[in-house]
Chain A
């Protein structure tokens, strides 16, 4: 059985809607990361699970039971807040014991649990200290311990690492993941950081403007993004996207770029006319390809002749910014590849397997795969730049 189910949950704050009909499930033992830009509603989802907010419409279930009437304390969730939210007047040990004492746990049991958790999180030396005497990382561990100590059915974490410095954040990321594997407790983790989402999640839930764009494994989200938003949210630098249209020309189907005088970027040789028929018309489509899959030079795939505008050297790799006509493109050169000069004109190839297609509503066109991809017309691209 699922730990938590959301069924068409809507949340309104006055005239503003924070969530619009959100449905998803949190599976037993999984690490679900909710990711999205600030204001997308991800924290609202977490607060609704915790019972700190109530949905305007829709159903929230805990273990298959309607949770509407359950107070936050009765849900048995462990929550970690962004600013830790430790009780400043209590010692670390009292902070850890707070939740157990609040529900009248026998004293010996409280002592035992606090000791266990303190050992697990290496807090034994600071049990007598107050939060004001702790560093950010230590506070973070106490906040985790406070959630752990009650043996909750689910962990809720609201950007728990965002107040830590980069080095500590990286360490905590692995520690959290390891902790999750030890406890096996379902975790919902909210972040705006794509790296945290990618590295920690079993499944990622991507949100924007109160709606779910995609729920999937990190691989799925990266390789088969459901929308252009998801495609551009993951990956750094973000996926290149060029505006294209499908046209019927000379008895075949061509993909043209309206920014380049309707010249063909791609022609399709042969079958699957119906698929193209569906896509054809004046509605704008997006052709996407990730910077990391672009090669310099001409090969099988869509080819562009571009002018280099900037080169960012990062050490292990370089980001090269370029213009294809007026369309900006970015590609990545791995360490060892020599970067072109600024102002140089170079050929780029986006291999067929790297192409993503999004329709006029920015949704992924899945049938493109069925079509067996398309073949680029080098001459067309070449013509554009000639």
Chain B
């Protein structure tokens, strides 16, 4: 029979242990509290006020800020622009990164595969503002590389960042370039853990490429697909820097020719820091938060039905 031998522990130590635990947690909890939860709570709080940061003449106006927002066409336009951005970005990023990962998978163990993987991941580690400025040159309607290539093939040359129609696609192209690496690496990780014998069993069973992908690979990487979709949604709806850098400059930091790239987050920035309407911007942020939360919950609901966890 096994006999458990416990060292006698002092009463003091028993009492101190939880205190010590909380003590160790405290610094990070404080940081979170001061820089995240408190501002977030404060934001929710001031969204019900007519707030003035310079004087103490703030005034409770209930849902007033929200009513102002809903009456503003620009708010709805920004919301639509955000959703348009996400609606293109999320599927495009997910499909392209999965495709890239499948292409790169073959050489996953070879040295050349490593170089290729690094090359795909590289854009993601570059600073957004700096590379955005480079892309402004690439997008230049007259002298840019992109239009030179299109011109060479006698294809129509859009105005890109100068065009209300093409400014958003340009932002999407840049965002894809910058973020694909991350998602591709996530998919590569998922593909690397696929059990080899299961793939071989499917081959022996007569599954051709497409059938193998649809019936075996896709279901087995579905947890990562779900993760990528959620991550891409959040990243897209929150993106600010590249839109500001690509289209903000000549338009007062508010995005796009004629607000073509003014997403919610840019509108929040403009309202808060250009026009000093902090409470209105807070209300807007709250709406954005609710939107993202709603989308994430919806994705979770879908995922519970289609994602297979091993």
List chain A positions with a Cβ less than 8 A from chain B.
50-52, 71-75, 77-79, 81-83, 85-89, 98-99, 102-103, 132, 146, 150
A81 adjacent to B207 (CB under 8 Å): no
Task: Kindly state whether residue B156 has any CB partner on chain A within 8 Å.
Answer: no
Complex CA distance for A73 and B205, rounded to whole angstroms: 6
| Min C-beta distance of B196 to chain A, whole Å | 9
Nearest residue (CB) in B for A130 is: B308
| Docked pose: A377 CA to B204 CA in angstroms | 60
> Which chain B residues in 32-78 approach chain A with CB under 8 Å?
none
B293: Cβ under 8 A from any A Cβ: no
Contact among B205, B206, B211, B310 for A88, CB-based, below 8 A: B310
Complex CA gap A230/B208 in Å reads: 41
Give the interface SS of chain B, mostly helix, strand, loop or mixed: helix
Q: Is the CB of A85 within 8 A of B200?
A: yes
Contact B202 A98 (CB under 8 A): yes
Which chain B residues in 196-236 approach chain A with CB under 8 Å?
197-198, 200-208, 211, 215-216, 219-220
Q: Contact: B203 with A71, CB < 8 Å?
A: yes
Minimum Cβ distance to chain B for residue A304 (Å):
50
In contact, B215 and A98 (Cβ under 8 angstroms): yes
Are A88 and B215 in contact, CB atoms less than 8 angstroms apart? no
Name B222's closest neighbour in chain A (CB-CB): A89
- Contact indicator per residue, chain B 123-159, by CB within 8 Å of chain A (1) or not (0): 0000000000000000000000000000000000000
On chain B, the residues within 8 Å of A83 by CB distance are 195, 197
Q: Is the CB of B202 within 8 A of A87?
A: yes
Beyond A88-B198, A89-B308, whether A98 also contacts B219 by CB under 8 A is no
Q: Which 6 A-B pairs have the closest CB atoms?
A: A73-B206, A99-B205, A85-B197, A89-B308, A85-B201, A102-B207
CB-defined contacts of A82 to chain B, threshold 8 Å: 197
> Residues of A contacting B203 with CB < 8 Å?
51-52, 71-73
- The answer to whether B204 and A79 touch across the interface, beta carbons within 8 angstroms, is yes
Contacts of B195 in A (CB 8 A): 83, 85
Name the distance in Å between A149's Cβ and chain B's nearest Cβ.
9
Beta-carbon contact of A79 and B206 below 8 Å: no
A-B pairs with beta carbons under 8 Å apart, 29 shown: A50-B200, A51-B203, A52-B203, A72-B204, A73-B203, A73-B206, A73-B207, A74-B206, A77-B204, A81-B197, A85-B195, A85-B197, A85-B200, A85-B201, A86-B198, A86-B201, A87-B202, A88-B308, A88-B310, A89-B219, A89-B220, A89-B308, A98-B202, A98-B207, A99-B205, A99-B207, A102-B207, A102-B208, A103-B206
